[in-house]
Amino acid sequence: MLGGFVRAFRTPDLRYKLLFTIGIIVLYRIGSFVPAPGVSYPNIQQCLATQETGALLGLVNLFSGGALLQLSIFALGIMPYITASIIVQLLRVVIPRFEALHKEGQTGTAKLTQYTRYLTIGLALLQATTYVTLARTGNLIPGCVVIPNNSVMTSLFVVLTMTAGATLLMWFGEQITDRGIGNGMSMLIFISIAASFPPAIWSITQGSGGFAKFAIVLAVALIVIALVVFVEQSQRRIPVQYAKRMVGRKVYGGSSTYIPIKINMAGVIPVIFASSILAVPTLVAQFADVNNDWVAWIQRNIASPSAPLHLALFVVMILFFCFFYTAITFNPDEVADNMKKYGGFIPGIRAGRPTAEYLDYVITRVTSAGAIYLALVALVPTVTFIAMGVGDSIPFGGTSILIIVGVGLETVKQIDSQLQQRHYEGLLK
């Protein structure tokens, strides 16, 4: 492994990509600690050191590397872009124009990317306004004066700064994808979550139970990581045979390949969707009178991650979005038509409609196992840590483990494939 990294830095173009990625990451982490103009950084640090924040913004704060609760210039993180990307993908189902652009190839993809950028700026502006409003009313960090100057112009300036920061992060992610290593957006989320590990580890060792609880948390995390690595690398391979055909004097086809179907085709998106939707009622309740009965009910049954209703809704929505997103990203009819067009067929299955029905049958079975796996990975670590009393926003939860492992595997694969193009040995043996 170490020899592979040495070979990577000895290769000029690969070294440039690695150093470029590291440089962007350094800029991102520096910006996460630069407060927006008008925000009192000492007040925030004092409040965070003396009290616990609610679980409402825990997921977003985790994805921003802790920058959200500090209202830094990168407080919104990459979440506006991720949300915009998912919305544009979902709109392909209801807007025929988006589906037509998706089928146009590179030109259509470029237009969809542009729409995603515009939507990202709009979502960033909306989220920044929401968080600044929570900060002004004292609901972001209860009892903490985040913005001493409560004027409208100061708040507007903070909103514009945070929106500009989210736009800059979107550009950072695109630059990493084009000129660096790995998927830029996923890499930024990976760094944000990894940056939350040291303080979380320290908080566990300082609490009741000390290193004993830390050892249990670490053991659970390692078991879940091993499970995630095993399942994420697993796939159902459907064999495909291409018939021979004559084109002039040349013979084409006659080869055998397969369609790889991952057990978890939806990735971590169902978990993010479920967490975001569950956060909406709590966010609405933040602006209402705390003495209302419905507000107390939401705080007791929806906002609390340990509430039975919250856990049940979380699992149900993960299962639903897992099937929903898989149905969007994998179209059996389209795959069957493409196979028929190029002379491909599944042994024992007739081309055309029978192939599409067979693919739909396989996808349904595989996705059922993947959805249950995703719900268990997202739920079991969180429930275990809550039962142990180590907190409900610890970065060793199922969502963060899924992202960390998934991004890590894809990045290592990219480095390995580029090394194999230049050397006989890759990063992994």
**Span 190-210, pLDDT tens digits:** 888 887 777 777 766 666 556
1-196: what fold?
Preprotein translocase SecY subunit (1.10.3370)
The domain defined by 198-394 carries CATH number 3.40.50.10860: no
Is the pLDDT reported for residue 163 higher than 90? Answer: yes
Side-chain-side CA neighbours of 405 within 13 Å: the count stands at 23
Model pTM greater than 0.85? no
pLDDT tens per residue across span 219-265? 877 888 888 888 888 888 888 887 766 666 666 656 788 888 888 88
β-strands 235-242, 245-247 pairing? unpaired
Helix (H, G, I), strand (E, B) or coil at 240: strand
Please give the backbone phi and psi of residue 208, each rounded to the nearest 5 degrees, phi first.
-70, 135
pLDDT, tens digit, for every residue of 130-157? Answer: 888 878 777 677 667 778 777 888 889 9
Sorted by sequence, the CB contacts under 8 Å of residue 221 that are 6+ apart come out as 381, 396, 401
Range list for CATH 1.10.3370.10 in the chain? 1-196, 198-394
Residues in CB range of 49: below 8 A, 6 or more apart: none
Summarised one tens digit per residue, pLDDT across range 354-398 is 899 999 999 999 999 989 988 888 887 777 766 766 655 455 566
d(CA 19, CA 5): 13
Confidence of residue 58 (pLDDT cuts 50, 70, 90): low
- Look at the chain and count its residues: 429
